[in-house]
Amino acid sequence: MNNKINTKIDDYKLRFAEEKDVSLLYNLIMELAAYESLEHQVKATEEILKESIFQRKAAEAIILEYQDNAIGYIILFENFSTFTGLPGIYIEDLYIKPEMRGKGFGKVALSFIANLALERNCGRVEWSCLNWNIPSIKFYKGLGAKPMDEWTIYRLAGEEIKNLADNS
């Protein structure tokens, strides 16, 4: 199956991941975790990714390739805004290998997602960025993205979810 999307950069293509890409995705996720010094938080396994992305279809994965080599990935999923009344795209991960940054690959990847949002009639494209990641923050602001400083993300995970569920 040839599902590669050509871009404005020679030899740079994006493609929706297939189940056979699970190992590649897992390895790229581990690279991102190492970059963010968060390897200790990764609970995903190849089997969990296979089930969540390709069987449950809880998210979509896109592989970024330059000269037929994987240089990064995107994980995204649809969310919903009650204020716009429209779905949105949430980018869980956008990772490009450090040695491939600064070459325009990220901008093209985000442009692809923006086009995907338009095709799907989405009202927003959103993502989170670690506060210490100044190069990424500058890059995002340069694209016109605005930080949502007045919002704080809250999270329940693991035991917190179980404890709250027990209260029902």
Helix (H, G, I), strand (E, B) or coil at 157: coil
CA 96/CA 70 separation, integer angstroms: 9
Q: Which of 12, 26, 90, 140 is catalytic?
A: 140
Let me know if 66 is a catalytic residue.
no
Rg for the chain, CA atoms, rounded: 17
**Which amino acid type is present at position 109?**
A
Measure CA of the first residue to CA of the last residue in the chain; give whole Å: 47
Q: Determine the Cα angle at 146 with ends 142 and 151, to 5°.
A: 150
Which residues does the annotation mark as catalytic?
Answer: 140
